[in-house]
Chains A and B, each alone.
Chain A
């Protein structure tokens, strides 16, 4: 037993230094998984900032300003600047080169208003043009205000109380804390960290199994008097270590990303400090272990690295797609989410971002699932090792 444990450390050390010498692969993983997250965060913060400045600008684009002096008067009283929309605004909205919705006023707007007809005013935006879409609600509210004012005025002229029109009053009360609101934007952060874990494990897992077969070094390796489990456990330990290392890099890469956001309101909402990073790593440890074992189990059946890459696609796909259940918020949080690896970790990390406490059950279920996956994976690799060596 003591010799097997010694052998485990020997294998672990060798595989680890071997994996860390694969500089080119490591560099690719670091660039794609570690730098990607902060960059996307930066891009999103840029978008949020542009939306905010648009809201501050208080501008409304009208097509046919001259035909609607009443509306113009109302808007200007709301301290909005009214501008004539460009002639080709439809085409420009479609091409996303124009980012404000346009209010189209019909030619006989004023006359219809006076006659008591109901003129039709269009708010033109393109739902594929996200920035124009974002301001639509604001314009709608604004025009709604205009309608209400007109109605109230005509009622007042006839001596009717304005309250008849509004038998009840509606007030908004938002339960979300600043942090919960922020997760709508930072919700993709756990996803990036998870990809870092996955791609960190992928290459090392394939190299220690299928790669070893392809090089023809598995057969001589098995001719050493080492227990099979010590060999497999050492390899698995090294793969899990590499994966955790990438995860740590990725988790901490968001900390400097935050400094860049400082000028924004987003930065105020974005609660991600060293404590959150540390919690992320604790949550990801079991996932890294399980992914290492599962990827090795899939790859040990393949004769070459290339073949292993093809067959591991299904694992990569599952880990990439499952968290999307959360990102797209399909049906809210369900109890089964905790039983699905990757999705469970995503759920837990989202909770950390929201500043919510983690319950015992929420920690134990994903942990148990990961331990089970790890055991099955390692057992399977140990079982297949000899067959793989001679085929």
Chain B
């Protein structure tokens, strides 16, 4: 179970190259007042302003939002990779900021970057992560075998990752994230780069993981693809401009926006929030 409340994070905007660096520094030497003024209003990018959601066990929660809405930053905070400026995150009741390693032990994360080690085989890539989770090599290996069967990649296991296609890399990374059988699964745009068949296989696997036989996992996944959400998610969290703008099941969101097409409903929600966001920004 994952609970997120009032999450916020901003980053210092990268200095524009033409005015940045030593030139700006040299120029500001002569004008101390000006330099003080620029540093006080140094632009910050508010990647996440206020994101909240609940993801219960045995359900698939979709984080839906346009590009740059703050999905990846939210998931990175959830994985204790960056520290939030405000808000709380709990995984199975454990605070992420206070006890990050306990949280990571209960979570399988497929992050935005999913690089493999090209000189290791898929199996070695997977078993390495299992070992880092404290698993015995044999146990990790057996688990890799099981998961490979589920994702139909048994033939890949003993090949080196160097020549893998996008889809093969993706599958390996996914199995790697699930090797320690985590109760909570967080996936950042997992269908990126997958073809139709692989996407279907992934959907089936996620449905199975959600079911009581599969362990009734708590699954959170971010996406910008409407169909994914419609086909898979038990509940949807719509994120735009760093804020949660709507939460509910697909029918609930349709009812809320008075639309029959989910895409229209999403545009309405995101667009309304955009205007609201633009109004609230200064």
A interface residue numbers (CB < 8 A to B):
3, 6-7, 10-11, 14, 17-18, 21-22, 212, 215-227, 386, 389-390
Contact = CB atoms under 8 A, between A and B. Distances in A.
B160 to A, nearest CB: 8
B267 interface: no
B120 A225 contact: no
Given A222-B81, A223-B109, A216 B104 contact: no
16 contacts: A10-B128, A18-B120, A212-B115, A216-B113, A217-B113, A218-B113, A219-B81, A219-B113, A220-B113, A220-B115, A221-B132, A223-B104, A223-B177, A224-B132, A226-B132, A390-B81
A245 to B, nearest CB: 17
Given A220-B109, A220-B115, A389-B81, A225 B131 contact: no
Interface string B80-99: 11100000000000000000
B105 interface: yes
Nearest to B177: A220
B115 A390 contact: no
Q: Which 5 A-B pairs have the closest CB atoms?
A: A216-B113, A217-B115, A216-B115, A215-B115, A225-B104
Contacts of B133: 224-225
A227 to B, nearest CB: 7
A7 B128 CA distance: 10
Contacts, number: 83
Given A220-B129, A390-B76, 7 more contacts: A14-B131, A220-B176, A223-B79, A223-B80, A224-B104, A225-B101, A390-B81
Given A220-B115, A386-B81, A6 B176 contact: no
B134 A3 contact: yes
Nearest to B160: A21
A219 B82 contact: no
B102 interface: yes
Interface string B15-33: 0000000000000000000
B119 A18 contact: yes
A338 B128 CA distance: 41
B111 interface: yes
A224 to B, nearest CB: 4
A224 B76 contact: no
Contacts of B100: 225
A10 B129 CA distance: 9
Contact of A386 (B82, B109, B132): B82
A389 B72 CA distance: 13
Given A10-B128, A226-B132, A227-B101, A219 B119 contact: no
Nearest to A21: B119
B234 interface: no
A169 to B, nearest CB: 69
A10 B119 CA distance: 16
A227 B101 CA distance: 8
B131 A10 contact: yes
